[in-house]
Amino acid sequence: MKLTYFRHDPPNFGDELNEGLWRHLLPQGFLDEDEAELFFGAGSILRTYPGTGMKHVAGSGYGGYSALPDIRDGTWNILWVRGPLTAARLGLDPARAICDAAILLRETPLPPPEEGVGAAFMPHFESAARGDWAEVCARAGLAYLDPRDDPARLVARIRGARVVVTEAMHGAIVADALRRPWVPVLPFHPTHRMKWEDWAASLGLALRRARLPPSNLREAYVLATGLQGKGARSARLAQGRAVAPLNEALRDRAARRLIELAERTEPMLSADAAIERATTRCREALDAFVRSRTERVRALRA
């Protein structure tokens, strides 16, 4: 059974959490590279997959990035999904909507909190690539949480943060799971917004999402056009002497807004009872799957 998640170069925090998470939570040897069966964890990865092998879903979500899978074709084993919006789109019993799989970090050994982090900001990994957020954070005096960094280090920094301002959904999910206050920022590109509502609803949260101004002209292009900002035209907006003063002014404005969000905006945190209940339900669903699978393998070998 192969662990399956969105793989990107450079890597992305929320997706890369899967490796350490499931290697700890599942028995040794449970996962391998056999693609006859797939195991889906954290991420918006529910879509159509070729082949007739079984797909086991543990806390994944539908992000609207592709067509819906036909989960009635006999190849889907839904343990639970990220939230009620995913459940509704797939026609599942609402009881299957528990929470994003990353909540189960609470059930794993964690790196110690990094000291001296203070307030921190994590952009979406696409914003990290096209924006100037490291420089903006330096100007604002916030720790920069690069979603392309090592996941264990990011978890340590989140644990040590006083508050996490985050455009990356898994920045919020991990902060909430580890009981650190967070401020949600509306993703620059609209395709990344629905999944936030899906996760938040699973914990009974009504999001109060703030807005950040762009950190450079390339991000301003994304906001103005709704395009991804990956082409040569948008790349030219970040270069050249003519645009340098405009980019400088945008970085200053973004830094002022980050300070406002970190220092004067009420952060969010789900209720202790909600996070405990969701953690227990996720763990129970996972343990039931492991027991069933283990018993079936033993019976086949007998």
pLDDT digits (tens, 9 = 90+) for 173-212: 999 999 999 999 988 777 788 899 999 999 999 999 899 9
- Tokens coding 34: 């056999």
pLDDT in tens, 10-53: 899 999 999 999 999 999 999 999 999 999 999 999 998 887 89
pLDDT the model gives residue 25: 97
Distance CA 284, CA 96 (A): 12
Which tens digit of pLDDT belongs to each residue from 284-302? 999 999 999 988 888 878 7
CB atoms within 10 A of CB 279: 18
Beta-strand relationship, 182-184 and 161-166: parallel
What order do you get walking across the sheet with 37-40 strand by strand? 2-4, 37-40, 54-60, 76-81
**Residues 2 and 39: beta-carbon distance below 8 Å:** yes
d(C-alpha 152, C-alpha 108), whole Å = 12
* Secondary element (H or E) of residue 58: strand 54-60
Please answer whether residues 227 and 234 qualify as being in contact, where contact means their C-beta atoms are separated by less than 8 angstroms: yes
Residue type at position 216 = N
pLDDT of residue 1: 93
How far is the first Cα of the chain from the last one, in angstroms, to the nearest whole number? Answer: 20
Mean predicted lDDT score pLDDT of the chain: 92
pTM across the whole model:
0.93
The reported pLDDT for the residue numbered 157 is 98
Whether the per-residue pLDDT at 228 is higher than 80: the answer is no
Tell me the two tokens of residue 1. 């059974």
The pLDDT, as a whole number, for residue 240 is 60
Rounded-to-integer distance, Cα 272 and Cα 70, Å? 35
